[in-house]
Amino acid sequence: MIKNIFKGIQAYSGALSLISKLKLWKYFFIPIAISVITAIIIGLSAYGLSDNIGRFIAKIWVWDFGKETFTAISTLIGAIVVLAIGLILYKHIIMALSAPFMSPVSEKIEAHLMGKESHEHRNTSFKEQLWRGIRINMRNLAKELLITIPILLLKLIPIVNIFSTVLLFLIQAYYAGFGNMDYTLERHFKYRDSIQFVRKHKGIAIGNGIVFILFLLIPVIGVILVLPMSVTAASLKTVSLLKEEHLLSEQKTIAS
C-alpha cells in the first residue's frame, strides 16, 4: 500500500512537461474556469458558515467556567467541518463537470504512451462522459460523506482528533484519486468494473489524491493547476497499470 502511494505521488514528476509536449493546455481552459468559480463559491460559503457552526456546537457547554475556551475550540472545529465538507463538494463538482474535457486529455496521453493514435476502447459521447462523471462522483460523494461525518465527530475527543485528521485527509485523497483515474478507466471499463479496478489499486489513488489535496492549499495557483497536474499524473499511472495487466486491448472484468 505505502509503496503504491509513493508511485501515485511520483507520477506527478513528469506531468507538467508532458502537458506542454502534447499541447494539452487548451483542454484545461473550461475545467480551470469551473475549478476557480466553484472554489470561490464554496470558499465564501465556508467563511460565512464556520462561525455559525462553532456557536451551535458551543451551546452544548451549559456551564460558565471554560465557556470562552470551549467556544474558541468549537469555532475551530466548525471551521474544520466546513473545510472538510467544502473540499469534498469542491472536488466532486469539478471532477464531474470536467469529465467530458478530461477524457480527451487522458486519451491523448494513452495514445502517446502506447505509441499509436488509434486503439480499442469504448467510444463514448460528450453526454455519456458527462453522465459517467456525474454518476461516479455522486456515488463517491455519498460514500465519502457517510465515512467523513463519523470521523468529524471524533474531533470532539481529545488526542483521538489528531488521528482522525490524518484519516480524514487519506479518505479525501482516495476519492480525489479515484475520480482522476476514472477519466482513463471510462474508456475501457463499465461503471462497476472501474470501481473494482480502483479498489484493487487504492494506494495509487491515495497517492494521486494526496498531491491533489496539497495543491488546494496553495492560494490561487492551486485551484488553477490542480486538475491539469492531477489528471495528467493519474492518466500516466492508470495507463501504465492497464498495460502491465494486459487490459488495454479488450474489456475485462477485474476481480476485487
Q: Which residue has the cell 493547476?
A: 225
Residue 246, class by beta-carbon neighbours within 10 Å (0-12 exposed, 13-18 middle, 19+ buried)? exposed
Query: Where in the chain are the domains?
Result: 2-244
| DSSP designation for 27 | G
Are 95 and 124 contacting, i.e. CB atoms less than 8 angstroms apart?
A: no
Tell me: the pLDDT tens digits for 86-143?
888 999 999 999 999 998 899 999 999 887 654 555 566 788 888 899 999 999 999 9
Tell me: the pLDDT tens digits for 224-233?
999 999 999 9
Instruction: Give the integer Cα–Cα distance in Å for 43 and 37.
Output: 10
Model pLDDT, residue 256:
36
Cell of 201: 489499486
Cβ partners under 8 Å of residue 231, min gap 6: 102, 105, 106, 180, 183
Cell of 73: 475550540
Model pLDDT, residue 195:
93
Predicted confidence (pLDDT) at residue 156 exceeds the cutoff of 70? no
Alpha-carbon distances, residue 39 vs 31, 32, 90 (angstroms)? 12, 10, 7
Predicted confidence (pLDDT) at residue 249 exceeds the cutoff of 60? no
Alpha helices in the chain (DSSP H): 2-10, 15-21, 29-58, 67-114, 126-153, 160-185, 191-200, 202-215, 221-244
φ/ψ of residue 93, rounded to 5: -65, -50
Three-class secondary structure of residue 65 per DSSP? coil
Residue 222, class by beta-carbon neighbours within 10 Å (0-12 exposed, 13-18 middle, 19+ buried)? middle
Model pLDDT, residue 251:
43
Tell me: the pLDDT tens digits for 49-68?
777 777 777 777 767 777 77
Tell me: the pLDDT tens digits for 13-26?
989 999 999 999 99
Ramachandran region of residue 118, left (φ > 0), alpha (ψ -120 to 50) or beta?
Answer: beta
